[in-house]
Amino acid sequence: MTLFTILLSALLVNNFVLVRFLGICPFMGVSKDVDSAIGMGLATTFVMVVAAAVTWLIQWFILEPLGLPFLQTLSFILVIAAMVQLVEMFLHKTSPALYRAMGIFLPLITTNCAILGFAIMGVQNSYSFIENVVFGLGAGLGFTLALVLMAGIREDLRFADIPKPLRGVGIAFIIAGLLSLAFGGFAGLV
């Protein structure tokens, strides 16, 4: 596996949202307009990249040597929660508008299963440090891509004549399904 294939795999072929179906909550919640979708995606990407580095160090320098792999979930969640706190403070300082736009979904990155999922997968795949970071970057960018695609479509949908029962979340789930099917086309690329 070259770094490029790891990136491409996490970004498109095994996109965390549309192929692995992880992190659906923010995918639905913050995909109403493109700006906040980009913000949310980049915040998540940042958390993923940092978490990739830290979780790798914890896994191979603390958990494995001490024979504590069963503490993986606990310690990874600790890392993620701390990173999210950091991002939240950073955003509050630098971009109050984005901070408000993301609202409750910002602290909820903590419970975004895509992050914990990728961290555990990275360990399972026995990636090296660099590979793991690239894997995190790909996962984060893939999440951002899915969010922005969805937000773009939903922005256009505002002017579409949607049957009444499907308006809002209903049509959003149908579109998510179609997007997922489309991403199925990347299978076999890597």
Partner 1 sequence: MSTTLVSLVSMGGLAAVFAFGLAVASKVFHVETDPRVDEIFEVLPGVNCGACGFAGCSAFAEGVATGEAPVNGCPVGGASVAKMVAAIMGVESDGPNRQVAQVLCKGGLAEAKQRGDYDGPRDCRIAHATQGGDKACSYGCLGYGSCVAACQFDAMYMDENGLPVVIEENCTACGKCVDACPRDIIMLVDEEQGVHIRCRSLLTGRFVRQVCSVGCIACQRCVKVCPTEAIYMQDNLARINYDKCTNCQACVEVCPMNTIEWQEGKGLLDKAAVS
Q: Which is nearer to partner 1, 81 or 171 (CB)?
A: 81
Does position 62 interact with partner 1 (CB under 8 A)? The reply is: yes
Range 176-186 burial, b when 16+ CB lie within 10 A, else e = beebeeebeeb
Among 71, 166, 169, 181, binds partner 1 (CB under 8 A): 71
Does position 68 interact with partner 1 (CB under 8 A)? The reply is: yes
CB of 140 vs partner 1, minimal distance in Å: 20
Residue 166 identity (one-letter amino acid): L
| Binding window for partner 1 (CB under 8 A); candidates: 45-53, 85-93, 108-116, 169-177 | 85-93
**What is the helix (H) or strand (E) element at residue 138, kind and residue range?**
helix 129-157
Does position 75 interact with partner 1 (CB under 8 A)? The reply is: yes
Q: Which residues contact 27 (CB under 8 A, 6 or more apart)?
A: 17, 143, 146, 147, 150, 176
First to last CA, the chain: 9
Burial bucket for residue 38 (CB in 10 Å: 0-12, 13-18, 19+): middle
- On whether the CB atoms of residues 6 and 137 are closer than 8 A, the answer is no
| Binding window for partner 1 (CB under 8 A); candidates: 32-40, 78-86, 120-128, 148-156 | 78-86
Among 1, 89, 130, 178, binds partner 1 (CB under 8 A): 89
Q: Which is nearer to partner 1, 7 or 101 (CB)?
A: 101
Does position 85 interact with partner 1 (CB under 8 A)? The reply is: yes
Binding site for partner 1 (CB under 8 A): 58, 62-63, 66-68, 71, 74-75, 78-79, 82, 85-86, 89-90, 92-93, 96, 103-104
